[in-house]
C-alpha cells in the first residue's frame, strides 16, 4: 500500500532552500519557516552531497520540488528518464507536490537554459493539458504549473495569458503554482491589470504562491531577477490575492544577491502582516 501524500498547512510560509543559508539553518531553524522548496534539477542524478543536506532538512519540515527542465510546451516527447528521476526524488522526500513551468526549454536536442514562452493559442491547450496530466499521473501527487514572467508578445496569440493558463490547468486536472511577481512583471511589461489576471484563477487549485523581487531595465522593462526584496506593488497584489482566495501556502524566492538568512526570513514574515 502506498504512503499517503503529506500536505502543507493552508497558510504555511516557506523559503526557497539556497546553499548560502544552510549553515545558519543548521544552527537554528526559523520558527516561521514551515516548509522549503528545492530546485529539482539541483538534486537529480549522483548528487550525494546536496542529498545529505536534504536529509536533515526533511526531518524538520516538508520539502516541495520546483523544476525548470520539464519542457512541457516543447514539441519533443517528454523526457521519461528525467521524469523517472523527479519521481524518485519526490518519493524519497515525501514531497507534498511538484511544480514546473508552463513553457519550453529545449528544441532540436539543445537546451536553452531559460524558460521560454509560446503564443497563447487555443489549439495548444489540449497539447499542454495532455502532457501536464501525464506528468501528474507519473508523479502520483499534485503537479503545479507556474506562470512565466513575460518580455515578448506574439501576434499569433488568440487568448490572453490568464485564459490560456487557466484553461490548461482546468483541462489537465492539475494545479496552479501561481507566481505573483511574474503576474505583476508581465502586467507592467504588457499593459494589463494584474488584478484582472487573478480574477481568472481558481484559488481552490492553487498549490502555493511565489513571491520574489524584480528590477527595471533602462528602457523600463521589468525583469524577474529574484535579487531584490518584494516590491510594494507586489505586496499589494498579494493582499488582493489573499482577500480573493486565501489561505494558501506562500513561498519567498531569493536567488541573486542572496542576503543572510535572517534578512530573507524577515522578508518572508512580511506576508503575515500583509494578510492582516
Pairing of strands 63-66, 35-39: parallel
Euclidean distance between CA atoms 84 and 139, whole angstroms: 9
Q: For position 154, what pLDDT does the model report? A: 85
User: Is 97 or 49 the better-scoring residue by pLDDT?
Assistant: 97
Pairing of strands 110-116, 206-211: unpaired
Q: For position 157, what pLDDT does the model report? A: 85
Top-confidence range, 49-63, 115-129, 260-274: 260-274
Pairing of strands 175-179, 250-252: unpaired
* Mean pLDDT calculated for residue range 238-260: 97
> For 185-229, what is each residue's pLDDT tens digit?
999 999 999 999 999 999 999 999 999 999 999 999 999 999 999
Euclidean distance between CA atoms 7 and 95, whole angstroms: 8
> For 113-141, what is each residue's pLDDT tens digit?
667 688 899 999 999 999 999 999 999 99
Q: For position 1, what pLDDT does the model report? A: 38
For helices 232-245 and 180-190, angle between their N-to-C axes, nearest 10 degrees: 120
Q: For position 119, what pLDDT does the model report? A: 85
pLDDT at 176 over 80: yes
Q: For position 45, what pLDDT does the model report? A: 80
In sequence order, which residues have a C-beta less than 8 Å from that of residue 54 and are 6 or more positions away? 38, 43, 63, 93
Residue 45 phi/psi, 5° resolution? 75, -150
Q: For position 73, what pLDDT does the model report? A: 84
> For 64-100, what is each residue's pLDDT tens digit?
999 988 888 888 999 999 999 999 999 999 999 999 9
pLDDT at 48 over 80: no
Q: For the chain, which domains are there?
A: 13-275 (3.20.20.150)
> For 224-246, what is each residue's pLDDT tens digit?
999 999 999 999 999 999 999 99
pLDDT at 107 over 60: no
Cβ-based burial of 72 (10 A; exposed 0-12, middle 13-18, buried ≥19): buried
pLDDT at 52 over 90: no
Q: For position 171, what pLDDT does the model report? A: 98
- Where residue 3 falls among pLDDT bands split at 50, 70, 90? low
Pairing of strands 104-107, 215-216: unpaired
Q: Choose among 218, 252, 248, 271: nearest CA to 18.
A: 252
Q: Contact, 258 vs 20, CB < 8 A?
A: yes
- Where residue 181 falls among pLDDT bands split at 50, 70, 90? very high
Euclidean distance between CA atoms 180 and 255, whole angstroms: 16
Q: SS3 for the chain, per residue?
A: CCCCCCCCCCCCEEEECCHHHHHHHHHCCCCCCCEEEEEHHHHCCCCHHHHHHHHHHHHHCCEEEECCCCCCCCCCCCCHHHHHHHHHHHHHHCCCCEEEECCEEEECCEEEEEEECCCCCHHHHHHHHHHHHHHHHHHCCCEEEECCCCCCCCCCCCCCHHHHHHHHHHHHCCEEEEEHHHHHHHHHHHCCCHHHHHHCCCHHHEEEEEECCCEECCCCCEECCCCCCCCHHHHHHHHHHHHHHCCCCEEECCCCCCCCHHHHHHHHHHHHHHHC
Mean pLDDT of the chain: 92
Q: For position 51, what pLDDT does the model report? A: 79
Amino acid at each position: 500500500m502506498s504512503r499517503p501524500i503529506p500536505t502543507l498547512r493552508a497558510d504555511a510560509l516557506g523559503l526557497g532552500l539556497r546553499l548560502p543559508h544552510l549553515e545558519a539553518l543548521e544552527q537554528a531553524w526559523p520558527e516561521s519557516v514551515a516548509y522549503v522548496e528545492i530546485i529539482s534539477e539541483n538534486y537529480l542524478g549522483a548528487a550525494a552531497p546536496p542529498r545529505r543536506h536534504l536529509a536533515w532538512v526533511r526531518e524538520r519540515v516538508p520539502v516541495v520540488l520546483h523544476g525548470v527542465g520539464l519542457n512541457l510546451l516543447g514539441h519533443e516527447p517528454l523526457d521519461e528518464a528525467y521524469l523517472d528521476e523527479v519521481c524518485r526524488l519526490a518519493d524519497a522526500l515525501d514531497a507534498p507536490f511538484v511544480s514546473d513551468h508552463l513553457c519550453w526549454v529545449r528544441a532540436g536536442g539543445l537546451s536553452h537554459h531559460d524558460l521560454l514562452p509560446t503564443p497563447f493559442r487555443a489549439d495548444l491547450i489540449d497539447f499542454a493539458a495532455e502532457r501536464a496530466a501525464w506528468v501528474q499521473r507519473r508523479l502520483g501527487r499534485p503537479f503545479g504549473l507556474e506562470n512565466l514572467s513575460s518580455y515578448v508578445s506574439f501576434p499569433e496569440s488568440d487568448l490572453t495569458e490568464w485564459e490560456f493558463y487557466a484553461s490548461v490547468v482546468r483541462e489537465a486536472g492539475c494545479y496552479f503554482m501561481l507566481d505573483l511577481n511574474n503576474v505583476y512583471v508581465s502586467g507592467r511589461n504588457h499593459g494589463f491589470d494584474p488584478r484582472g489576471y487573478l480574477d481568472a484563477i481558481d484559488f481552490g487549485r492553487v498549490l502555493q504562491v511565489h513571491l520574489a523581487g524584480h528590477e527595471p531595465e533602462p528602457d523600463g522593462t521589468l525583469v524577474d531577477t529574484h535579487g531584490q526584496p518584494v516590491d510594494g506593488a507586489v505586496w499589494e497584489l498579494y493582499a488582493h490575492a489573499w482577500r480573493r482566495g486565501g489561505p494558501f501556502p506562500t513561498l519567498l524566492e531569493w536567488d541573486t544577491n542572496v542576503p543572510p538568512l535572517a534578512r530573507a526570513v524577515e522578508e518572508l514574515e512580511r506576508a503575515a502582516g500583509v494578510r492582516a
